[in-house]
């Protein structure tokens, strides 16, 4: 075992073993059941290739009950087969006789994908790992399995059955996606490579402020630069009249109470927080730039940061050793208001270590063809925000607890 506080594939002899892997294949789908973005499916191929000498059983989910894309895992198995270069067999059962029989008859090198774990209603109950360990799926499947790997960082903020239940009864480690996430995010959070800059944008104001407070309090960030809606909230907190249209939007999203939180952050960490000096307003779909000092109650919707702010922010970002981007700087899906987001992305790839988090900004990175230039692109959404905010993730904590038990058992 390395100095990490969790185990990985490298800590186990996987040859000939039956390995249960919790993956995250949850993908956007069209009404016909076609997968629109297979990024998460592709992300697990490295893990599967490192388990070629084993029998691999995959557990995953798609959407949740009540949603139109709450469906079977068959399309995911087909796509995974394409990327893996061999068949990934879809098994329309989770822990019944068919699943158990199929697992028992597997040969080395085989990969099967069990049915959508959320078809079993108890999967999503928030229970402790010990409580989940006493459920039917764990009791039925565990005897057929040698090792459990959690490779689903994006759902590890949930204390769900398939995430934490098997960690109590099987030798447990992290798959390559989970290992990469934790290693990269820990490097970013600990801010070893200084200066470390967090650029927080998008529309989820409460998440961004929570992250800002954590990384500034812990010393994980030397600077936090605000963009997007969170920047508008912070500007309002600093005493700027951002205009009725922008305040109405903040209120409609339920974020009016976040202005007080932003005031606290600005008061505590004033010199470490960057706010826009100018913004781009949407005047009948046309970009109109104005200094923040000229905003007033009649101001149009703010849809991006302005050119002067872009120059200042990108200069800071380019000279940083570590950069973490989460959320776009504006309405990046509209060309006239994508400038801030695109220039920040281009600046971030010049830093020594760069992390991208958040679906919208990740999509812009892909659109610009710059994904390969980033040190790490996170697969997490809520899990990423929780981790950056200092919240302990049940999936990660259960990995650490399992590693401790494994090490203690080896020394007996």
Q: Is 333 among the annotated ligand-binding positions?
A: yes
Residue 408: predicted pLDDT? 87
Cis before 195 (ω within 30): yes
Extract the tokens encoding 296.
């007033």
Q: Is 25 among the annotated ligand-binding positions?
A: yes
Ranges of H-type helices in 319-353: 339-348
Low-confidence ranges of the chain (pLDDT < 70): 1-3, 191, 412
pLDDT in tens, 1-53: 346 899 999 999 999 999 999 999 999 899 898 999 888 999 999 999 999 99
pLDDT in tens, 294-310: 999 999 999 999 999 99
3-state secondary structure of 148: strand
Residue 176: predicted pLDDT? 98
Q: Is 360 among the annotated ligand-binding positions?
A: yes
Quote the DSSP letter at residue 3. Answer: S
3-state secondary structure of 268: helix
Q: Is 303 among the annotated ligand-binding positions?
A: no
Q: Which domains does the chain have, with CATH numbers?
A: 9-177+392-411 (3.40.50.1260), 194-351 (3.40.50.1260)
Q: Is 24 among the annotated ligand-binding positions?
A: yes
Residues with Cβ within 8 Å of residue 243, at least 6 apart in sequence: 295, 296, 297, 298, 299, 300, 301, 302
Q: Is 296 among the annotated ligand-binding positions?
A: no
Q: Is 210 among the annotated ligand-binding positions?
A: no
Residue 356: predicted pLDDT? 93
- Report d(CA 67, CA 65) in Å as an integer: 6
3-state secondary structure of 281: strand
Residue 1: predicted pLDDT? 39
Q: Is 61 among the annotated ligand-binding positions?
A: yes
Residue 147 phi, psi (nearest 5): -140, 145
Q: From edge to edge, which strands make up the β-sheet containing 322-326?
A: 273-274, 223-226, 196-200, 322-326, 353-357, 376-377
Closest CA to 96 of 148, 140, 147, 59: 140
pTM as predicted: 0.88
Residues with Cβ within 8 Å of residue 209, at least 6 apart in sequence: 230, 233, 258, 261, 262, 265
């Amino acid at each position: 075992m390395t100095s990490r506080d969790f185990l990985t594939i490298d800590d186990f002899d996987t040859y000939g073993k039956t390995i249960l892997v919790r993956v995250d294949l949850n993908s956007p789908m069209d009404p016909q059941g076609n997968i629109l973005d297979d990024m998460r499916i592709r992300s697990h191929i490295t893990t599967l290739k490192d388990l070629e000498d084993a029998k691999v059983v995959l557990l995953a989910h798609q959407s949740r009950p009540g949603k139109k894309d709450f469906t079977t895992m068959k399309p995911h198995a087909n796509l995974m087969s394409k990327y893996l270069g061999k068949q990934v067999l879809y098994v329309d059962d989770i822990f019944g006789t068919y699943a158990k029989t199929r697992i028992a008859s597997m040969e080395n090198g085989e990969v099967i994908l069990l049915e959508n774990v959320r078809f079993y209603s108890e999967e999503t109950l928030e229970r402790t790992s010990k409580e989940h360990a006493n459920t039917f799926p764990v009791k039925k499947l565990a005897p057929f399995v040698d090792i459990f790997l959690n490779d689903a960082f994006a759902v590890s903020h949930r204390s769900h059955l398939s995430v934490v239940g098997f960690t109590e009864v099987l030798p447990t480690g992290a798959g390559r996606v989970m290992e990469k996430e934790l290693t990269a995010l820990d490097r970013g959070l600990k801010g070893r490579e200084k200066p470390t800059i967090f650029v927080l944008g998008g529309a989820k104001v409460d998440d961004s402020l929570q992250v800002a407070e954590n990384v500034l309090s812990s010393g994980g960030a030397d600077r936090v630069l605000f963009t997007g809606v969170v920047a508008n909230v912070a500007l309002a907190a600093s005493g700027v009249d951002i205009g009725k249209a922008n305040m109405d939007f903040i209120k409609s999203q339920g974020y009016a109470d976040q202005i007080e939180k932003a005031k606290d952050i600005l008061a505590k960490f004033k010199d470490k927080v960057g706010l826009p000096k100018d913004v781009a307003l949407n005047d009948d779909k046309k970009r109109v730039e104005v200094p923040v000092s000229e905003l007033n109650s009649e101001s149009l919707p703010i849809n991006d940061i302005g050119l002067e702010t872009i120059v200042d922010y990108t200069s800071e970002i380019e000279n940083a050793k570590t950069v973490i981007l989460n959320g776009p700087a504006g309405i990046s899906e509209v060309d006239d208001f994508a400038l801030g987001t695109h220039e920040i992305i281009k600046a971030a790839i010049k830093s020594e270590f760069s992390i991208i988090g958040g679906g919208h900004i990740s999509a812009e990175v892909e659109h610009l063809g710059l994904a390969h230039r980033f040190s790490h692109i996170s697969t997490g959404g809520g899990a990423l925000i929780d981790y950056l905010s200092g919240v302990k993730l049940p999936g990660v904590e259960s990995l650490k607890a399992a590693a401790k038990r494994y090490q203690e058992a080896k020394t007996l």
